[in-house]
Amino acid sequence: MVFKPGFNKGSVTHTQGTELKGTAEYYYELPTEWVLRSDEFRTKEHMWVVILKDSRTNYPAEMKPGEFAVVPRITEIDSGCQAFIQPIVRRYSYGELIEEFALGGNLTVRCDQDVLGIVGNKKRVPNKIRNLVCRQLGIGGPEFDANTYDEETFKKHFTVWDEKKIKMEGMKHAEMKKKLYPCTPHQGPARWARKGTDIVLQDDAMNMER
């Protein structure tokens, strides 16, 4: 995606109430590596490469699924680690990578609709894109609200834990595990030991032992 703004960088703000002139050209299904080596694209001042990415590839293959079970970081705007495939925007200027930004993942991989009925900021993803455009083209003005929840909704539904609270809950969870699973890997029940002789199944019709 190549932007061709009709104004100079740093000369306008999005709060001026006027329509900003310019165009954007879309190029579909091009191999990323080819684009980054092509002079036609490397010479562009304002270019985006948009891909769909499974963020699990950012981590070693030997990592276990349980290692990804962490406290949700719902206050982060750029969510690089997601449970689902998500759109990634890579911003370039004259062939140089300026920023890689994750738009956020969900089960349906839709960023243009409130498909999950989230009680929060329904303009979150469009505002992320607006902020990216402003950064790319040097458009001034305050950032658009890209938080998942506004301050009032966040306070209503969530309680932020401090380090002391996290430690206490961790200890409580460890005690609960001891009660539910009293056997440790080194002190577990003895392995099942097979006794007696093997049983041979006989097929009378074929007179064959299995």
Answer whether 0.75 is exceeded by the pTM.
no
Predicted local confidence at residue 45, as pLDDT: 95
What are 139-169's pLDDT values in tens digits? 999 999 888 777 777 778 778 788 898 888 8
Domain count, the chain: 2
**Residue 16 gets which letter from DSSP?**
S
Residue 181 sits in the same domain as residue 152: no
pLDDT > 50? residue 208: no
Displacement of CA 160 from its chain's centroid (Å): 21
Number of H helices, E strands in the chain: 5, 7
Residue 39 sits in the same domain as residue 64: yes
* Domain assignment of residue 201, given as a range: 169-209
Q: Which two tokens stand for residue 41?
A: 């694209």
Q: Which two tokens stand for residue 210?
A: 């299995």
Residue 47 sits in the same domain as residue 145: yes
Asked if residues 131 and 143 have their Cβ atoms less than 8 Å apart, the reply is: yes
What are 170-181's pLDDT values in tens digits? 888 888 877 776
